[in-house]
Structure 1
Amino acid sequence: MPRAIHVFRTPDRFISGTVGEPGDRTFYVQAVHASRVVSVLVEKQQVAILADRIDALLDEVARRFGTPIPPATGAVDDVGPLVTPVDAEFRVGTMGLGWDANENSVVVELLAATDESLDESIVLDDRDDGPDALRVFLTTDEARSFAARAEAIVSAGRAVCPLCAEPLDPQGHLCVRTNGYKREPLSLEPYDFDGDGGAGDDPG
C-alpha cells in the first residue's frame, strides 16, 4: 500500500497541544487548513526537540544567508485548544527539518514510527516506499510561533517541590529530602493550553 504523505503548504494553524488530565497528558502536533485537520501523536521530548531545532534552523539561516528572520520570542500568538475530536493519523517516530530558500519557508516533516530500519533519505522525499508522513511548510513567523507555543507547553508542567525539584502531585508529594514526609501541593495554575480545564504536564 502506498504511503500517505499529508502535505500542508499554507496551513491556517500548525500547533502542538495536549489532551488529558494534569500529569497524564498526551501530546499531539496538529495541522489545519480550512476543514482539513491532521493530527499526529508525539512524545513530550519530541515537542521540545522540534521547537529547539526550529529556532536553531532559523538562527542559522539568518547567520548564513542574511535572510531577514523574526527573533525568537516567548510570546504565544495562538493559545487556542486543538481542534477536536483529536484522531491521530499515526505516532511520530522520525522528525525532519528543511529550509526552502525559494519560498523562504521552513519545512517540517513528521514520519510515522516503524519497526523497520529507516533510510534517512526518505525524509522530505516523495518516494512511494517508507512510512506515512505529515509535511508542513511554514513562514518564518509561523515557525517562530510554533516554537514559542511548543516551548510554553513543555515548560508549563506541574509545580515542583522546592526541596527535591520533583513534580508535585495533586494529592501531595512524598519528598525524599524530608525522609518521605508528605508535602501538600502548591497552588499554582499554569496556562491551560488544553482547553479542558487542566493545565498540568507530565513529569520529566
Structure 2
Amino acid sequence: MSHQVHAFEPPERFVAGTVGPPGERTFFLQARGGGRLVSVALEKVQVSLLAEKLEELLAEATRRFGVELSDTPAVVSDNEPLDTPVDEEFRVGTLGLAYDVDTATVVIEAIAAGETAEGELGDDDLDDDEESDDDEPDDDLDRLRVRLTPQAVRAFIDRARRVVAAGRPPCPLCGQPLDPAGHLCPRHNGYHR
C-alpha cells in the first residue's frame, strides 16, 4: 500500500485550529505552502501535548546546542481562522518531533492513525524520534511533515495554547467542561445547581 508524505520545508503557514462551536470542535493542524493546503484532524489533548513537548524540545535545544530564542517572537501572531476548504487528509495517530542541528530547525511529523498490533504505538502517543528505525510500525501510513525555525515554533506554541484554552470553561467544582445549559456535576450527585 502506498502512502503520501505531505512535506513542507518550510511552510508558508503552519497552525493549529478548530472548526465548530465549543463542545463540538474538531481540531486540525494545517500547513500551507507551494500552492498546497493540507489539513489533518487530531484530538484536543494531542494539540495540548504537542505544544508542551515543543516547549520542552526548544528548552533542550537551547541547553544542548545553544539555540538562541528571543523573548519577543520574530513572527507576528497568527490569529486568522483556518484556510478554507478544510478537507481532512487523515486523522493523526502519532506525532513525532526532532531537532535538526545542521539546519537549526524543528521537524514535526504527524502520522496517520492506523491499525496497531500489540506493543506498537497508537492514538495519542507522542514520540521524540529517539527510537530505532527498525521495524517501524507506521512506514506505510500517510504523514504530514513540517520544518520550522525556532521562532516559528514559538508562534505555533502560542497559538496552539490559545486554541486549546478557547473552549468551554471548566466547572469550578469538578473541572469538566460546562455546556451553555450547565451539566450534571458529579460533585452534586448528578443534580443541577
TM beyond 0.5: yes
Distance 2:186 2:76 in 1: 36
Structure 1 unpaired stretches of 5+: 184-204
In the other structure, the counterpart of 1:92 is 92
Q: Which amino acid in structure 2 is aligned with residue 172 of structure 1?
A: G
Cα RMSD after superposing both structures: 2.7
Q: Which of residues 139, 151, 169 in structure 2 aligns to 1:141?
A: 151
Indicate if the aligned counterparts of 1:28 and 1:42 stay in contact, CA closer than 8 A.
yes
- Give the number of equivalent residue pairs: 179
Identity of aligned residues (%): 51
Deviations 1:13-39 (A, max 9, x none): 110111112101111100011531011
Aligned pairs for 1:101-180 (under 5 A) are 101-117=101-117, 121=132, 129-180=139-190
Deviations 1:23-82 (A, max 9, x none): 011111000115310111111111111111111001001011112124598x98111111
Deviations 1:73-126 (A, max 9, x none): 8x9811111111211111111111111111110000111111044586559x9x
Distance 1:47 1:169 in 2: 21
Indicate if the aligned counterparts of 1:70 and 1:144 stay in contact, CA closer than 8 A.
no
Cα 1:16/1:93, change in 2 over 3 Å: same
Aligned pairs for 1:1-204 (under 5 A) are 1-71=1-71, 77-117=77-117, 121=132, 129-183=139-193
TM-score by structure 1 length?
0.78
C-alpha displacement of 1:169:
1.0
TM-score by structure 2 length?
0.82
In the other structure, the counterpart of 1:196 is none
Indicate if the aligned counterparts of 2:65 and 2:101 stay in contact, CA closer than 8 A.
no
In the other structure, the counterpart of 1:197 is none
Query: Aligned with 2:48: secondary structure?
Result: helix
